[in-house]
Amino acid sequence: RAEVVINGSSSPAVVDRSNESIKHNIQPASAKWRHNQTLSLRIRKQILKFLDAEKDISVLKGTLKPGDIIHYIFDRDSTMNVSQNLYDLLPRTSPLKNKHFGTCAIVGNSGVLLNSGCGPEIDTHSFVIRCNLAPVQEYARDVGLKTDLVTMNPSVIQRAFEDLVNATWREKLLQRLHSLNGSILWIPAFMARGGKERVEWVNELILKHRVNVRTAYPSLRLLHAVRGYWLTNKVHIKRPTTGLLMYTLATRFCNQIYLYGFWPFPLDQNQNPVKYHYYDSLKYGYTSQASPHTMPLEFKALKSLHEQGALKLTVGQCD
């Protein structure tokens, strides 16, 4: 019985930043990659021992009431009250209840997507997951348009929508939310205390303007469960990134998983510069030591899963 080896070494990988993009060359290349169904099913089963995406994707209405106090997952001493708006937006049943898809795309936000021409391919997948309300319209050729689930860390309201300082930014966010048109908006509201007001502003906008989105707020145990799974597999992450969270959840309801826009390195495989995000001017320092993420380490794990056929990583152009 073949083992799932996600990280070959037993100690945390040491990241040599001098030559990372060369080290991370992806093999097999697109045409030779084959899906390993047995391995995918084994991974799903293993992950199910830690979490169940169907349940953990969102807290449900029945489990909370307005006024309940929640301790933030990463700031245990800080609390928030469940507001009436948040309560109103909690789903009654899991948005993933009994869902199964043949192929799913998870679209990360790396600048490696620019000039990839991957948009049409991404849009062919049955379920498309995107991260942090990243814009699509202006980049459709490279990132596609189809969106079935999109995440929104509260920090996005600050970094992409100027903390809604004036009517123009509020309108911009509102238009982006309207464009989601029935898809799932996944808001990690209970992670860190900094996001309190931002989550409330978004909840208010959605209710006031009757925005057609299905809101979901991940369970309180999700993050630790996801981290637990990866730690057990010797991937020593500090705090999983949104992209890794999405992959971990997707193993539950996707038969084949295709990753695009995962490339946390400043040079591509041909040594050309790569933007940190495809759509803004954030710099790589953003993932510095101070950041809780360990993206290159996550990437190494995902690359290993690609090599074994459990997922497919695309880091260059689409055919």
Query: Catalytic residues, which ones?
Result: 293
Applying the rule CB under 6 A, the residues between 109 and 138 that interact with ligand CTP are 109-110, 131-132
Residue 252 or residue 300: which is nearer to ligand CTP going by CB? 300
The answer to whether 260 contacts ligand CTP (rule: CB under 6 A) is no
Please list, residue by residue across 96-125, b when 16 or more beta carbons sit within 10 angstroms of its beta carbon and e when fewer do.
beebebebbbbbbbbbbbbebebbebbbeb
According to the binding rule CB under 6 A, does residue 229 interact with ligand CTP?
no
Please tell me the count of residues contacting ligand CTP according to CB under 6 A.
Answer: 18
Considering beta carbons, is residue 41 or 200 the nearer one to ligand CTP? Answer: 200
- Nearest in space to 134 (alpha carbons), one of 115, 110, 117, 105: 110
Judged by CB under 6 A, the residue of 58, 116, 242, 304 near ligand CTP is 242
Q: Interface with ligand CTP includes 264 (CB under 6 A)?
A: yes
C-alpha Rg value of the chain to the nearest Å:
19
DSSP state letters, 123-160: HHSSEEEESTT---GGGHHHH-S--SEEE--THHHHHH
Selected from 46, 94, 155, 179, the binder of ligand CTP by CB under 6 A is 155
Comparing every residue's Cβ against ligand CTP, the nearest one is: 243
Classify residue 237 by its DSSP letter.
Answer: -
Candidates 36, 85, 219, 241; binder of ligand CTP (CB under 6 A) is 241
How many Cα atoms occupy the beta-carbon half-sphere of 269 within 13 Å?
A: 14
Interacting residue ranges for ligand CTP, rule: CB under 6 A: 108-110, 131-132, 153, 155, 241-244, 261-264, 276, 293, 295
